A and B are shown apart, each in its own frame.
Chain A
């Protein structure tokens, strides 16, 4: 039973447009959420995070939104660049460990 789900295995976006990656969770005890980015042959790298006491966190082109009532978070990338093409994982923490979603492969086309 997956507690963190990314229902879109892939997403294709045109360069310059907005990329929206979604993540749903079931455990209401999660209190911290993170997004990681992974290139082939590399480990995941931290991108942005949000605490459950907030509903938005912005860092440059990246914004994470949290809707606690819907148990849903999303990552917005705008404008999207070809270098953003990678697999994006959302992760949730309940104090001790991270639980990861299955990932979404983002392809940004020039």
Chain B
């Protein structure tokens, strides 16, 4: 399997649930990213990991908790979310920390918070 994969593709959860989004890249990249795309808004960068170390946290609420166990896997743990957190969550990877480089995106997880 090649590219960037994300699971699940769709997720519906209540505000008291705990769930996790998973991202895996098979491109040998060393940087991984979480983005949020809400309706009619630009993609918003949430977190950046470079060589498994978090290098950016773009003022994301603590109810979103990222985890990067290795350069190929990235998780986003979700707990006590709000309905306004419903969005498309995209994972991306690149050779470096995005310094002018192309990022490769996964298909996204469509999250609905009830």
Counting contact residues on chain B (CB < 8 A from A), the size range is 20 to 34
Inter-subunit contact B107/A49 (CB<8 Å): no
Question: Which of A4, A42, A93 is B99 in contact with, Cβ under 8 Å?
Answer: A93
How many contacting A-B pairs (Cβ < 8 A)?
56
Most buried by A among B56, B90, B100: B100
**For residue A45, which residues in chain B have a CB less than 8 angstroms away from its CB?**
105
Interface of B is mostly: loop
Instruction: Give A103 to B102 CA distance when docked, in angstroms.
Output: 17
A2 interface hit (Cβ, 8 Å): yes
Q: How far is the CB of A30 from chain B (nearest CB, A)?
A: 10
15 example contacts (A-B, Cβ-Cβ < 8 A) are as follows A31-B100, A32-B100, A42-B108, A43-B105, A43-B107, A44-B90, A46-B102, A89-B42, A95-B99, A95-B100, A96-B56, A96-B98, A101-B42, A102-B41, A102-B42
